Amino acid sequence: MRVSRAHTSGSKTMKLNLNNEYGYEPYDHWTIENFLDIEDARKVSSEFIDYDSDTLIHYHDDYKYEKKTCNQWDKFPPATYKLFSKLLSKEFVEKLSDITDIYPLYPDIGLHGGGWHMHSEGGKLALHLDYSIHPKLNLQRKLNLIVYLEEDYDPKWGGSLQLWSHDDKTNKPLEKVKEIDPLFNRAIIFDTTQKSWHGFPETISPPPGKIRKSVAVYYLTDITSTAEERYRAHYKEQN
């Protein structure tokens, strides 16, 4: 069946800014401001599903409190669908390899653990190490890409991503090295294979109508000889 070009010619290409600031402490990470064109960022932000929707998976435990997620492609509105398609495309993954000097990289098109992420008042995410081995693809998780999408989010409300160093003696996080504020249209990429403790363990307090929201995509590589056999996230014990 032939598809007329007229149906697709009006589709706008989503452009991504890849000018980044690199940091190596406590592990490799790259920060990008104005990741999306502002109108694209606002459109994707507006498409987030209502926080009280039954579609969302609700986490409410000692480690993930007031966290809601969705990784179902059929639930994503057009701009969000287009964004995930772009972030998982061969073209973008090649650019990501060029930025990070990591080869090969494979996109996790199933968005295992990714997709929409949302936290409301009282939300928190304990310090943790991400899963190491993908439970279905038998590949090693290598990079996280997170794009923050709540416009006018004030870091005073909490929720800055904390990057912690690792204590080899105790196999626990040692000290907080850096905080990255979840500012609108900011992207953070980081290597998850370097004892990469991260989270925001203190509860957040945004006002009514404000949500700490982001989209998350993960990238994989071939399993290395040093890969830890961890199929689920490992959380720091709560006091």
Global pTM reads 0.94
- Mind listing the pLDDT tens digit for each residue in 40-84? 999 999 999 999 999 999 998 889 989 999 999 999 999 999 999
| pLDDT mean across residues, the chain | 94
| Domains present along the chain, CATH in parentheses | 26-235 (2.60.120.620)
Distance CA 105, CA 213 (A): 26
Query: At residue 7, does pLDDT exceed 60?
Result: no
Residue type at 57 in one-letter notation? I
Indicate whether 9 pLDDT > 60: no
Q: Which amino acid is at 231?
A: Y
* Dihedral angle sign, alpha carbons of residues 48, 44, 27, 135: positive
Rounded distance between C-alpha atoms, residue 15 and residue 92, angstroms: 11
The string of pLDDT tens digits covering residues 165-201 is 999 999 999 999 999 999 999 999 999 999 999 999 9
Which pLDDT belongs to residue 13?
Answer: 82
pLDDT tens digit sequence for 77-112: 999 999 999 999 999 999 999 999 999 999 999 999
Q: Is the pLDDT of residue 3 over 50?
A: no
- Output the pLDDT for position 224: 93
Alpha-carbon dihedral of residues 219, 223, 227, 232, nearest 10 degrees? 50
> Measured between alpha carbons, how far is 48 from 239 in angstroms, rounded to an integer?
33
